Amino acid sequence: MPAAIRLGYDTYSIRNFRIKALEHLEYSAKLGLDTIQISSVGDYESLDPAHLEKVKRRAAELGITIDAGTGCICSSTRSWNPKQGDPAAYLTQGLRVAKAVGATSLRCFMGSAADRRGDPPIDLHMENTVRVFKAVRPVALDAGVRIGLENHGDMQAWELKTVIEEAGKDYVGACLDAGNPIQTVEDPLVSMEILGPYAVTTHVRDSIVYEHPRGAAWQWVAMGDGVVDLQRWVELHRKLCPNASMQLEIITGRPPQVLPYLDPGFWKAFPKARGAEFARFVGLVKRGHPFEGSMVMEDAPAKKPPEFQAALNAQQKVDLERSLEYSKKVLGAGLKGRG
């Protein structure tokens, strides 16, 4: 029997329910999960040390490990919220919360797909991110928490690897996301091959991608509904990052988007893209097809009646739970329930 991977979910998967850490732990235990990623400091009822200790204690009682999380840590990107103050101080807060709840990893991200377009260039954001990481290195090492930088639609895998190595892989690794590579015209398996050895935690979901007159169209879907070779993903996970948890971050309810890579202007955002890696993405596109199931779209209407909101909530829960079942029964993930 192949080695099992700890299976859980990122709290963003059921974001519409607006529940907090202790409720997520109870829900995870009900689902028979091994781990959870509490993806934001806002997911705790309080940051008071006594409450964080309560979360840590309850997770231990349930046999659930916690991967911690925070948000954007680069002030030059469009994702940065100036209300957070200083990026290093913001990241330090996340590290201290992670230590308090017993986590050994802290997920964060640099920016988003929007940061590939316009000024400043992506290289500047990468330099600023390295600078922030180096500023908190003593805190991370003292806490025993490794920073997991997410490929968040901003960087291709080789670029994120560069940031990790320049900052120092003794305290910085990757939060390896399986859905976001599509936004950077990258096959998720390429991302795994490059970032797997650096992964301290993951975000896993399936994607649809298919040919479009301007290049390709893509959409995130529940596990097993897409075209990503998830069997191969899990095989590489076991080989390259067996100690990293498999946290499902299921994001459905969003319409297809176009990647216009046949437009000459598109490549201004990817001036250093690697031809061989893009060729693998094109192969994935040619094997793909549009989503043929049903889905409630959260992006419309602008004013959602109660019935519409209830349908969105139900979809998030159903898609997460069926994705977890698929991961257990088809992909063989999860420790609990194995003989």
Judged on CB neighbours under 10 Å (0-12, 13-18, 19+), 168 is middle
- DSSP states of 214-265: TEEEEEEE-TTSSSS-HHHHHHHHHHH-TTS-EEE----S---EEE-TTSGG
pLDDT at 301: 62
Judged on CB neighbours under 10 Å (0-12, 13-18, 19+), 295 is middle
Instruction: Tell me if 238 sits within 8 A of 6, measured CB to CB.
Output: no
> Two tokens at 24?
């997520």
Rounded distance between C-alpha atoms, residue 260 and residue 303, angstroms:
30
Radius of gyration of the chain (CA): 19
Tens of pLDDT along 135-165?
999 999 999 999 999 999 999 999 999 999 9
Q: Where are the beta strands (DSSP E) in the chain?
A: 7-10, 35-38, 65-72, 105-109, 146-150, 172-177, 199-203, 206-212, 215-221, 246-248, 257-259
pLDDT at 194: 98
Which pTM was predicted?
Answer: 0.96
Tens of pLDDT along 25-53?
999 999 999 999 999 999 999 999 999 99
Rounded distance between C-alpha atoms, residue 114 and residue 272, angstroms:
17
**Plot region of 211 (φ>0 → left; ψ -120 to 50 → alpha; else → beta):** beta
pLDDT at 326: 98
Q: All domains of the chain, ordered by start, with CATH?
A: 7-206+226-252+315-329 (3.20.20.150)
Count of Cβ atoms closer than 10 Å to residue 336 Cβ: 15
pLDDT at 339: 42
pLDDT < 50: residue spans in the chain: 339
Rounded distance between C-alpha atoms, residue 47 and residue 41, angstroms:
8
